[in-house]
Structure 1
Amino acid sequence: MTALFNFQSLLLVILLLICTSSYAHYVFPGIMDRNKDGVFGIFWKAARIGERLSPYVSICCVLMAISIFMGQ
């Protein structure tokens, strides 16, 4: 089953996108800030979400890890 049809997998993909984009913006801020529009703007927006809501994103990551661990 793909991540589009499984809600837990979709949430995991979104969390990984937010965390990866935040880290990439921290390491390469110039590249991320140049691409605010278009397709690459999604990564810039995800980086902003990760920076501004970092406590909530980290709590969601921990909860997702626990739910995946308990499911296996």
Structure 2
Amino acid sequence: MLNHLLTVILLLICTCAYLRAMAPSLLDKNKTGLLGIFWKCARIGERKSPYVAVCCVVMALSILFSD
């Protein structure tokens, strides 16, 4: 169960960072409130990108080689 939650969180971070790179105005106008979560995920993806990339590789390997 935890594995699936971490996968969803990593996908959310990567998707938000990609969307902000392609269309910054989509996420920049919602920095607060409920939609601010997406802006915060984009910031995490931008600033911690090497760590996020390593986590994505580790998660992919764990999914590939799990029972």
Correspondence for 1:26 among 2, 18, 21 = 21
Q: TM-score, normalised by structure 1?
A: 0.90
Q: Are 1:46 and 2:26 counterparts?
A: no
Q: TM-score, normalised by structure 2?
A: 0.96
Ranges in structure 1 where 5+ consecutive residues have no aligned partner: 1-5
**Structure 1 runs of 4+ with >6 Å offset:** none
Ranges in structure 2 where 5+ consecutive residues have no aligned partner: none
Q: Are 1:55 and 2:50 counterparts?
A: yes
Count of aligned residue pairs for this structure pair: 67
Correspondence for 1:10 among 5, 8, 16 = 5
Identity of paired residues, percent?
57
Higher normalized contact order (CA 8 Å, seq sep 6+, divided by chain length): 2
1:3 alignment counterpart? none
User: AA paired with 2:41?
Assistant: A
Q: Which SS does the other structure have where 2:65 is aligned?
A: helix
Q: Which SS does the other structure have where 1:26 is aligned?
A: helix
Q: Once superposed, what is the RMSD of the aligned Cα atoms?
A: 0.7
